[in-house]
C-alpha cells in the first residue's frame, strides 16, 4: 500500500488554494456576515470576473487552521478537472449556477480558445459541513505534460489531491505521472471517477484499474458526473474528512512564500503568497529575502475566485499581496517575505524547470526591441518555467533564446505574447540541445549549431 500523509502534514515549500461554502449561514452563496468587517452587510455572490464589492473586506481570523484544507485537482488532459472546479464554485456560492459556467478558473484567452488549462489557478471559498465553517483551498492544475511544472509547484502547497479519472478512458499517461508526483510529496490521494454519465462509461473497470495500478482500495473511489453535478458534494465532504489541515504557526514572525505572480500596469506586481508563519496586513513593512528591499503592503486578500480584499492574512492561508513592486524582477517565485526588522530563515524555493525545447524570438522591427523585452519579462513573471537568454542573429538582429517544456508550451507562450501584450514576433524553428564528443575526446553541448564550427 502507498504510505499516506499523517494528520497535520505541511510540505516544505508551499502555496495553496481553496474552495468552500456557507450553506446554512445565510442566503445560498452569500458569505457569512461573521466573516465580513464590523460594518459590512452580507453580499450577493460574485459573478465570474466581476469586480463588484471589491472594497468589502473579509475577516480571515474567523477561520482557524484546523478548519483549513489545501488540495489540488490533478488528472490527465480533458478528464474534467476544470468542470469539477466549476461545480465546486457553484456549490460554495462563489458564482451563480448557470449554463454559462464553463472553465471559470481558466481566465486566459488562450485557455478558452484551446479548451485546455495552461496555468494553475486558485480559488478561496467557504464551505459549511456539520455546522462548521471550512476554508477549502483549491487549485485547478493543467493536465498536459508541457505544463507539468505548474502541477509540481502546486502540489508543494497541498496536503492532498483529487485524482480525477475519466470513466470511459480510464487511467492515462498523465494520470500515472501526476499520481507519483503526489505520492512522492506524501499527499493524501482521493480518487474521483468522473463522467459516469457517458454512454460508454465503465466506472467498475476504472475502479479495478485504480486498485491495481495505484494500490488504492476501490471503496475509496468516488463516482461523479462533474458535468451534471452528480455526487459532487460528496467530494467536498471527503476533502474535509480525508485530507489533514496544514501545519501553521500564527504567533511566530511572518514567513510568506511567493508561489506565483502577475503584473498589473496600474498596481504593479500582484504576488500570490502562502503564509507559513505569522500575520500580514495593510500598512506592514515587509522585506524580500531575495532582494533585501523593503516594501509597504498596500492590500491583502483572497481569490473568491476574483480578488476579495481581507483585513489580514494568517498563517496557513493563501492569498494575494500588493506592495508597490513596480519592477518584475522584484517578485521572484520562491522568494520569502518577512516583516521589517524581524528576519527569519528563508523557506525552500522551487526546483527550476528543465527546458526541453529551445527557440529564438526576435522582434519583427528592431525598433520594438525594448517593448518586446518588457513583454517577455512580464510574461515570464507569470510563467517561470520559461528560460530566457539574450541572442543575436546576422539576419534577424538582437533577440532572445527561450527554453520551453515542449512544443505546445512554446505555441501557448507565443500566443500569449500576441494576445496579452500585442507583440508581433519572429519565432525560429524549435531545436533541442545536443551533446557531441569531438575527436579530441572533449564533450561539448551544442544549442545553436550555427555557432559551432566543425571540428575533427
Q: Enumerate the H helices of 272-406 as residue ranges.
A: 369-382
- Of 312, 316, 320, 245, the C-alpha closest to 61 is 312
CA 77 to chain centre: 16
Q: Is residue 81 annotated as involved in ligand binding?
A: yes
Q: How far apart are CA 419 and CA 426, in angstroms?
A: 15
Q: Is residue 140 annotated as involved in ligand binding?
A: yes
Q: Is residue 277 annotated as involved in ligand binding?
A: no
Q: Is residue 452 annotated as involved in ligand binding?
A: no
Q: How far apart are CA 53 and CA 391, in angstroms?
A: 47
Q: Is residue 196 annotated as involved in ligand binding?
A: yes
- Of 283, 291, 353, the C-alpha closest to 311 is 283
Q: Is residue 429 annotated as involved in ligand binding?
A: no
Answer yes or no: are the C-beta atoms of 378 and 421 closer than 8 Å. Answer: yes
Other beta carbons less than 10 A from residue 274's beta carbon? 30
Q: Is residue 195 annotated as involved in ligand binding?
A: yes
Q: Is residue 144 annotated as involved in ligand binding?
A: yes
Residues 6+ apart with CB under 8 A from 216: 2, 189, 191, 210
**Hunting for cell 495553496 — which residue is that?**
16
Q: How far apart are CA 151 and CA 140, in angstroms?
A: 9
Q: Is residue 383 annotated as involved in ligand binding?
A: no
DSSP H or E segment with residue 85: helix 81-91
**Hunting for cell 507565443 — which residue is that?**
414
- Burial of residue 345 (CB within 10 Å: 0-12, 13-18, 19+) is exposed
List b or e across 226-248, with b for residues whose CB sees 16 or more CB atoms inside 10 angstroms.
bbebeebbebbebbbeebbbbeb
The SS3 of residue 329 is: helix
Q: What cell does 267 get?
A: 498596481
Q: What cell does 293 get?
A: 528591499
C-alpha to C-alpha distances, 99 to 87, 90, 114, 260, 360, nearest whole angstrom: 11, 11, 20, 31, 42
Q: Is residue 142 annotated as involved in ligand binding?
A: yes
Q: Is residue 290 annotated as involved in ligand binding?
A: no
- Of 126, 121, 118, 170, the C-alpha closest to 145 is 118
SS3 of 414-455: HHHHHHHHCCCEEECCCECCEEEECCCCCEEEECCHHHCCCC
Q: Is residue 77 annotated as involved in ligand binding?
A: yes
The SS3 of residue 246 is: coil
Q: Is residue 146 annotated as involved in ligand binding?
A: no
Answer yes or no: are the C-beta atoms of 224 and 117 closer than 8 Å. Answer: no
Binding site feature residues for GTP = 75-82, 140-144, 194-197
Binding site feature residues = 75-82, 140-144, 194-197
Amino acid at each position: 500500500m502507498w504510505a499516506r500523509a499523517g494528520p497535520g502534514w505541511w510540505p516544505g515549500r508551499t502555496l495553496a488554494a481553496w474552495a468552500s461554502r456557507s450553506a446554512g449561514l445565510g442566503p445560498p452563496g452569500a458569505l457569512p456576515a461573521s466573516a465580513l468587517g464590523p460594518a459590512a452587510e452580507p453580499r450577493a455572490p460574485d459573478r465570474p470576473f466581476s469586480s463588484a464589492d471589491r472594497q468589502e473586506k473579509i475577516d480571515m481570523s474567523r477561520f482557524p487552521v484546523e478548519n483549513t484544507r489545501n488540495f489540488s485537482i490533478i488528472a490527465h488532459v480533458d478528464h474534467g478537472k476544470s468542470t469539477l472546479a466549476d461545480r465546486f464554485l457553484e456549490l460554495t456560492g462563489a458564482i451563480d449556477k448557470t449554463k454559462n459556467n464553463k472553465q471559470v478558473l481558466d481566465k486566459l484567452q488562450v485557455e478558452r480558445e484551446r479548451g485546455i488549462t495552461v496555468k494553475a489557478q486558485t480559488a478561496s471559498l467557504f464551505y459549511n459541513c456539520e455546522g462548521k465553517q471550512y476554508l477549502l483551498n483549491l487549485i485547478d492544475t493543467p493536465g498536459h505534460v508541457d505544463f507539468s511544472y505548474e502541477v509540481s509547484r502546486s502540489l508543494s502547497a497541498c496536503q492532498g489531491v483529487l485524482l480525477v479519472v475519466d470513466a470511459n478512458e480510464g487511467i492515462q499517461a498523465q494520470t500515472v505521472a501526476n499520481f507519483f508526483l503526489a505520492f512522492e510529496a506524501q499527499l493524501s490521494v482521493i480518487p474521483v471517477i468522473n463522467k459516469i454519465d457517458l454512454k460508454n462509461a465503465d466506472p467498475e473497470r476504472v475502479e479495478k484499474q485504480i486498485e491495481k495500478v495505484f494500490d488504492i482500495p476501490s471503496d475509496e473511489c468516488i463516482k461523479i458526473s462533474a458535468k451534471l453535478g452528480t455526487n459532487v458534494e460528496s467530494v467536498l465532504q471527503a476533502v474535509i474528512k480525508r485530507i489533514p489541515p496544514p501545519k501553521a504557526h500564527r504567533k511566530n514572525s511572518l514567513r510568506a512564500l511567493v508561489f506565483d505572480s502577475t503584473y498589473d500596469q496600474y498596481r504593479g506586481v500582484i504576488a500570490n503568497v502562502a503564509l507559513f508563519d505569522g500575520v500580514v496586513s495593510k500598512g506592514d513593512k515587509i522585506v524580500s529575502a531575495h532582494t533585501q528591499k523593503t516594501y509597504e503592503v498596500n492590500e491583502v486578500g483572497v481569490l473568491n475566485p476574483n480578488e476579495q480584499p481581507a483585513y489580514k492574512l494568517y498563517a496557513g492561508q493563501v492569498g494575494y499581496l500588493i506592495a508597490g513592486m513596480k519592477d518584475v524582477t522584484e517578485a521572484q517565485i520562491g522568494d520569502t517575505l518577512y516583516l521589517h526588522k524581524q528576519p527569519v530563515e528563508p523557506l525552500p524555493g522551487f526546483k527550476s524547470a528543465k527546458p526541453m525545447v529551445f527557440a529564438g524570438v526576435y522582434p519583427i522591427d528592431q525598433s520594438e526591441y525594448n517593448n518586446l523585452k518588457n513583454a517577455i519579462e512580464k510574461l515570464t513573471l507569470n510563467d517561470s518555467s520559461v528560460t530566457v537568454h539574450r541572442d543575436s542573429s546576422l539576419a534577424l538582429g538582437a533577440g532572445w533564446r527561450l527554453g520551453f517544456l515542449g512544443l505546445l508550451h512554446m505555441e501557448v507562450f507565443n500566443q500569449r505574447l500576441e494576445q496579452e501584450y500585442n507583440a508581433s514576433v519572429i519565432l525560429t524553428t524549435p531545436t533541442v540541445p545536443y551533446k557531441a564528443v569531438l575527436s579530441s575526446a572533449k564533450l561539448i553541448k551544442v544549442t545553436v549549431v550555427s555557432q559551432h564550427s566543425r571540428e575533427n
